[in-house]
Amino acid sequence: MREIDARLREDVHLLGELLGETMRLQYGDEFLDKIERIRKAAKAARQGSEAGHQALTDSLAGLGEDELLPVTRAFNQFLNLANIAEQYHHIRRRRPGEAEPFENRVLGELLGRLRETGLGGEELASQFARLDVELVLTAHPTEVARRTLIQKYDAIAEALGRLDHRDLTEAERGDGRRRLQRLIAEAWHTEEIRHRRPTAVDEAKWGFAVIEHSLWEAVPNMLRRADAVLFQHTGQRLPLDAAPLRIASWMGGDRDGNPNVTAVASREVLLLARWMAADLFLRDVDRLAADLSMHQASDEMRVRVGVHPEPYRALLKALRDRLRATRAWAETALHDTVPPGPEVLLDNRDLIEPLECCHRSLHACGMGVVADGALLDCLRRATTFGLFLVRLDIRQEASRHSAALSEITEYLDLGRYEDWPEAERVRFLSAELDNRRPLLPPDYAPAKETAEVLATCRVIAEAPAASLGSYVISMAAAPSDVLAVQLLLKETGLRRPMRVVPLFETLTDLDNAGPVVDGLLALPGYRERLYGPQEVMIGYSDSAKDAGTTAAAWAQYRAQETLVEICKRHGVELLLFHGRGGTVGRGGGPAHAAILSQPPGSVNGRFRTTEQGEMIRFKFGLPAIAEQNLALYLAAVLEATLQPPPTPEPAWREEMDRLAADGLAGYREIVREHPRFVAYFRQATPEQELGRLPLGSRPAKRRAGGVESLRAIPWIFAWTQTRLMLPAWLGWERALEQAGERGEDDLLRTMRDRWPFFRTRIDMLEMVLAKAEVAIAELYDERLVETELRPLGAQLRGLLSQVRADVLTLTDQSELLGHSPETRESIEVRNIYLDPLHLLQMELLARSRQAGETAESPLEQALLVSVAGIAAGLRNTG
């Protein structure tokens, strides 16, 4: 092993040792010995020891009722601490001779390669400055850890950093170890799991905390490094007004199937964001006012502040007063509807302009080194986050808009909108959008659901444009779905453009995306109302649940190609919004590779994507980790724009058509057509239990029914808990088997070597297969599934073994992830702690189902801790 790997192992050992000491102090030596016996038995079992497996089973079976929760908590915490050590490992201090991680080198190496192709420095710098990457934070129930505990985990990572110095004295090292001990004790004695389901506002506050504690520092740091490498390779600086990366949010705006996200909640979230932004900038400006005590100033500054011994402080104190007024107003407006006073900051230029004035003056007076410190960081934040912190998207299902319009048209004796054919809907909506008179009479009193739709539209109309992102329409299927939202917004007072975004989710919808957008862009009135690019959202989660990842991935690719061609023909810029999840089964996986595998022309300097669930914490929870991931996004979008991947050859397209058709048939044959599949799914996985646990503000189901009624997240999450990982691979076994029978193995290898799209799909498939465990899934069946349903489980495990063998053949490897031993080792180390958790979860599920426990019982609490622990151990789980 390399030295850096040894340092990671040392950190894992140290954290585990300190956790053990914490548990010993609470429960005594006997408890700690029991935990250690379980761990050693799990390790021996993993190495193939039958005695180890038997010892593990016996130890867990012998646990008393009062031991289930503490033992489950112990292994959950071990996995969380391993995650912390691994995260810190990515950002730790590099010793002389150690290579920087890829994430730290990616931008500089890319710019160097681009210059070698003959790209001019000014052109490259200009393209970089025009990048528009927007990460949309979304709240999802796979993030089960409490915010309080997450903050303690961040402090543990910071404490590891303090110990990562060779020249520490014995006293300093002792102090650092004791600090770690205290933090781990605090985490151990803090309940991991919330007792009540979070509200939409709670979720938004969690998102704001990620910005406050990580991204607020990470964004200017990353832009400072980007500016340095840009200057190194092009001789150009990143302009002050450049914002190549922004943050948006669905937290408090995503009402699709979530009755808890109301107009009142969205208004509150918008105001809380303004309060938080004012508070964060107030802290920055306070520090700047203390630091910028200089008296030399430019004529521009002197004219602005008059005769003053400390002109910078004078200007910044005036800005500070306005920030205080803004914060006070936002706090009052949370409780009372009060208009903002004249001192309240409403336009981002009012925040940026005083900072720019200070920056210009300092440079003019020879104090550029001061200007380009904390002041420049504040300017970068002002450009990126602004007075509204994040742009809130609104999402609602198309049927809610149609139902609202039906109620309105029936009230007006115009007939029932939902019964009209598409052409009639478009004629009606277009005419009303062009009509100056209102459609709704002042005495119209809508029913409850329509009133909520209209109230949401009023919140949008009343909010500043810069505080909002896009209005996303779930299950969009026709041009009228977009026009309907535009009309409802017009009728509630919106007099400015807003991007209204169709979201194409199912296989059928993806195939129909091109004709829908083509029809929209052909409408003269629509083109006149279109402001900026035509944004279209591609749904990954629901398309994968509908058709399996083989067919869904190809449908997503083809839909993007078609949209690129259509928008080019209409002379309209296209902005694709990727609804990617954290897992392979929901379109997730490494973002850098995914962006570089998109169709040529689909990433044209602009990229919008969701960041979901627990992946927000893993990718952006620590400032240094966030810097690395932000740099990966910028590098990938720049490369995909300037060096797009090759257009797939006709033979590759034909092969993907065959793979998708075979994959779709294999997937639906099991999920849709097998008569006992739903019964098996609900017995073999904790799906039913997940629905009643307080994991998120959104219900687990859109409606009553089978698999089709489930949201994509619990569908994926449930299979991940049992390690069958079925949604991520089902269908590929049929597709690859049929390709082999047709003698197409060489063609598949060529596609993998030369086509980034196909290579990325296979790489993500391989990663998830490395995390799948046939033996663990079989144990769930033996403990939880009725005898007559077990043959289906055996069939599925056989298909899993088959697809593993097919992937190994395709990649010419003897074991999965043979090309990535560090990733494989990370998974194997975690399995030692995951195996006991899986066995405990099986037992807890069995006891819970027998006893009918409530969510507040110790048994259910232990079950939820096991869910959290397995999620932590597998990382990208939902």
Kindly state the tokens that stand for 210: 């990620």
Give all strands (DSSP E) within 226-320, no chain letters: 245-249
Q: Is residue 775 part of a domain?
A: yes
Contact at 8 Å (CB) between 388 and 249?
no
Give all strands (DSSP E) within 399-532, no chain letters: 468-474, 500-504
Residue 121 has pLDDT above 80, yes or no: yes
Residue 2 has pLDDT above 60, yes or no: no
Tokens 């039906």 found at: 406
- 415 and 267 within one domain: no
- Give the mean pLDDT of the chain: 91
Kindly state the tokens that stand for 809: 């053949």
Q: Is residue 827 part of a domain?
A: no
- 492 and 420 within one domain: yes
Residue 454 has pLDDT above 90, yes or no: yes
Domain finish residue from 201, 222, 246 = 201
pLDDT in the model for residue 591: 82
- 413 and 376 within one domain: no
> Is 545 an active-site residue?
yes
Per-residue pLDDT band at 1 (split at 50, 70, 90):
very low
Q: Is residue 878 part of a domain?
A: no
d(CA 505, CA 546): 9
pLDDT in the model for residue 850: 86
Cα 436–Cα 441–Cα 447 angle in degrees, nearest 5: 125
Cα-based torsion angle of the residue sequence 443, 449, 455, 459 in order, rounded to the nearest 10 degrees: -170
Cα 729–Cα 730–Cα 735 angle in degrees, nearest 5: 90
- 595 and 669 within one domain: no
pLDDT in the model for residue 702: 52
Q: What is the CA radius of gyration of the chain?
A: 28
- The residue type found at 479 is P
Question: pLDDT tens-digit profile of 816-862?
Answer: 998 888 888 888 888 889 999 999 999 899 988 887 655 567 888 88
Q: Three-class SS of residue 233?
A: helix
- Name the DSSP class of 259: T
Q: Which of 159-163, 561-565, 680-684, 694-698 has the lowest mean pLDDT?
A: 694-698
- 720 and 793 within one domain: yes
The H or E element spanning position 609 is strand 606-612
d(CA 709, CA 701): 6
- 798 and 710 within one domain: yes
Q: Three-class SS of residue 417?
A: helix
Domain finish residue from 151, 184, 201 = 201
Q: Is residue 698 part of a domain?
A: yes
- 508 and 452 within one domain: yes
Q: Is residue 236 part of a domain?
A: no
Question: pLDDT tens-digit profile of 671-702?
Answer: 999 999 999 999 999 988 887 666 555 554 55
d(CA 428, CA 425): 5
- 357 and 314 within one domain: yes
pLDDT in the model for residue 585: 41
d(CA 152, CA 662): 48
Per-residue pLDDT band at 140 (split at 50, 70, 90):
low
Tokens 């005594």 found at: 28
> Is 189 an active-site residue?
no
Q: Is residue 836 part of a domain?
A: no
Q: 611: closest CA among 634, 587, 593?
A: 587
653 or 847: which leads in pLDDT: 653
Per-residue pLDDT band at 704 (split at 50, 70, 90):
low
Dihedral sign of CA atoms 62, 67, 68, 70 in order: negative
Per-residue pLDDT band at 299 (split at 50, 70, 90):
very high
Q: Which class for 815: exposed (0-12), middle (13-18), buried (19 or more C-beta within 10 A)?
A: exposed
pLDDT in the model for residue 712: 58
| Identified catalytic residue from 401, 545, 619, 771 | 545
Kindly state the tokens that stand for 693: 């646990």
Beta strand 606-612 with 132-138: parallel, antiparallel or unpaired? parallel
d(CA 128, CA 243): 10
d(CA 247, CA 211): 9
Residue 366 has pLDDT above 70, yes or no: yes
Q: Which of 305-319, 436-450, 674-688, 698-712 has the lowest mean pLDDT?
A: 698-712
Residue 239 has pLDDT above 80, yes or no: yes
Q: 803: closest CA among 726, 722, 716, 732?
A: 732
| Identified catalytic residue from 140, 359, 490, 619 | 140
Per-residue pLDDT band at 878 (split at 50, 70, 90):
very low
Contact at 8 Å (CB) between 237 and 371?
no
Contact at 8 Å (CB) between 319 and 282?
no
C-alpha pair distances (Å), 533 with each of 504, 576, 638: 17, 9, 18
- 703 and 604 within one domain: no
Contact at 8 Å (CB) between 556 and 849?
no
- 669 and 620 within one domain: no
d(CA 792, CA 781): 10
Q: Three-class SS of residue 343?
A: coil
Q: Which residues pair with 611 in a beta bridge?
A: 137
Tell me the percentage of the chain whose pLDDT exceeds 70: 94
Residue 464 has pLDDT above 50, yes or no: yes
Domain finish residue from 182, 201, 220 = 201
pLDDT in the model for residue 94: 79
- The residue type found at 727 is P
Angle, helices 650-671 vs 549-570, to 10°: value is 130
pLDDT in the model for residue 717: 85
Domain count, the chain: 4
Q: Is residue 838 part of a domain?
A: no
C-alpha pair distances (Å), 202 with each of 344, 478, 692, 871: 26, 34, 18, 21
Contact at 8 Å (CB) between 408 and 440?
yes
Question: pLDDT tens-digit profile of 769-787?
Answer: 999 999 999 999 999 999 9
**Residue range 711-727: mean pLDDT, rounded:** 85
- 175 and 50 within one domain: yes
Per-residue pLDDT band at 621 (split at 50, 70, 90):
confident
Residue 166 has pLDDT above 60, yes or no: yes
| Sequence-distant (≥ 6) Cβ neighbours of residue 806 within 8 angstroms | 732, 733, 736, 737, 740
588 or 369: which leads in pLDDT: 369
**Residue range 587-599: mean pLDDT, rounded:** 79
* SS3 labels along 814-837: CCCCCCCHHHHHHHHHHHHHHHHH
CATH of the domain at 353: 1.20.1440.90
Question: pLDDT tens-digit profile of 8-60?
Answer: 888 989 999 999 999 999 999 999 999 999 999 998 998 889 999 899 999 98
CATH of the domain at 526: 3.20.20
The H or E element spanning position 535 is strand 534-539
Alpha helices in 609-725 (DSSP H): 614-620, 623-642, 650-671, 677-684, 687-692, 712-721
- 398 and 383 within one domain: no
Phi/psi for 579 (5° steps) reads -90, 65
- Name the DSSP class of 375: I
Angle, helices 263-291 vs 200-210, to 10°: value is 20
Using the CB atoms, write b or e for 450-460: b if 16+ within 10 Å: bebbbbbbbbb
Q: 687: closest CA among 669, 676, 701, 703?
A: 701
349 or 584: which leads in pLDDT: 349
In terms of residue numbers, what domain contains 11? 3-120+143-201
Dihedral sign of CA atoms 560, 562, 565, 568 in order: negative
- Name the DSSP class of 213: I
Q: Which residues pair with 500 in a beta bridge?
A: 471
Kindly state the tokens that stand for 494: 């919106």
Per-residue pLDDT band at 197 (split at 50, 70, 90):
confident
* SS3 labels along 34-77: HHHHHHHHHHHHHCCCHHHHHHHHHHHHCCCHHHHHHHHHHHHH
| Sequence-distant (≥ 6) Cβ neighbours of residue 61 within 8 angstroms | 843
Q: Is residue 850 part of a domain?
A: no
